[in-house]
Structure 1
């Protein structure tokens, strides 16, 4: 069903409003609510977008789109694992993987195989590269669609990066600690995730498939967790 421009604007505004609320709840709540709010919101937004007229193809979720993304997905995973392996092996860059969250192999494995894909990667890709990018593409050209989607993805990470430098020895050593370090960490995280969001969005556009950015997103996050566990057990 073809969406009118007015309905497309309403859809984009509605998606952004939901994303803002979900972000605040996810980082302000605790327990089950904090765990389920983002995945739950992703499902609601996908179903809501379908009811509003956005089709599976526009969200990169049709069968043909998913098949088209398989070669890119495999290539992205292999490339990221190779690059991170080299970075962890080099002492000068290894320090940036020393995150307190993943100082054990079991914690890193659980995060890489369960928490990261189910609580972070799949929900975020459904929301940002699926629903939001598909909605923005109804209103804008490729450049603005990718840029606005990337900015939204970067801002999404403000709350989650507030304690970034405090839990990472490498980053705190470079950016400092306390309020100054925290602000620098947030700005750096927003800049990095905005850039990543642009790459994910471009990959989604280039392949027409949500599978490709899902694979790249997972590879980056999972290798970060596994790399941290490995880095803690290597000589500094």
Structure 2
């Protein structure tokens, strides 16, 4: 139990750091935090297989990852082609990126910062430690709830940068509060899906692949939509 609390404490501290430090420190902090969490898990007796990082699970995990990545791209491209759903891709945060910044965001910041830390933390370390102590159901519920709460701070600016979110939730404090609540619930549910992928595949690779495809492809298509499609 003390090691589990230590892992949660590390995540709480990192959540504050990554939302306050300059962007140049984001990836190093995330990598260091992921390494620290893995060390905590290993010191508490969690095996590589329990973390979803065992060698035997790699082939199966890669197969799942390829299928999931292809499915995400298909859904995104279909949504972008339909005028009704295209509005969701108009995001000022992506539109303001230069081509170089987009490449960095999609190929470095997302996979080696966001995805690495969040998957190691919530579907790797916390899920494995909670599963050993309380079983799969509680591990999925608790780690997914924490994953939702993890997104409170980064979702505070959603209505100011995404046209679809602004249209749904409105502006002002009420709009921000509603969008944050929706983000917490939405990411919590997504976390449960990621946990189930981790359980069924026996590997951390499928949730990593899905998470990376959702975020990186989302940035790339939002950037493209702001330049090649008009509202």
Give TM-score, length-normalised by structure 2.
Answer: 0.93
The count of residues paired between Structure 1 and Structure 2 equals: 228
1:110 aligns with 2:89: no
The SS at the match of 2:165 is helix
CA distance in 1, matches of 2:63, 2:195: 17
Q: 1:105 to 1:93 in 2, by over 3 A?
A: farther
Q: Do the aligned residues in 2 keep the contact of 1:22 with 1:41 (CA within 8 Å)?
A: yes
CA distance in 1, matches of 2:62, 2:210: 11
Q: 1:159 to 1:213 in 2, by over 3 A?
A: same
The SS at the match of 2:160 is helix
Task: Mark the runs of 5 or more structure 2 residues left unpaired by the alignment.
Answer: none
Q: Do the aligned residues in 2 keep the contact of 1:105 with 1:226 (CA within 8 Å)?
A: no
1:193 aligns with 2:187: yes
The SS at the match of 2:53 is coil
Q: 1:35 to 1:199 in 2, by over 3 A?
A: same
Give TM-score, length-normalised by structure 1.
Answer: 0.92
Q: Do the aligned residues in 2 keep the contact of 1:105 with 1:230 (CA within 8 Å)?
A: no
1:30 aligns with 2:22: yes
Aligned to 2:63: 71
* RMSD, aligned α-carbons: 1.5
Aligned to 2:230: 235
Deviations 1:94-127 (A, max 9, x none): 1111111211561333321111101101111111
Write out aligned runs for 1:1-236 (5 A): 9-30=1-22, 32-103=24-95, 104=97, 106=99, 107-232=101-226, 233-236=228-231
Aligned to 1:4: none
Deviations 1:75-112 (A, max 9, x none): 10000000010111111111111111211561333321
CA distance in 1, matches of 2:209, 2:27: 21
CA distance in 2, matches of 1:52, 1:156: 23
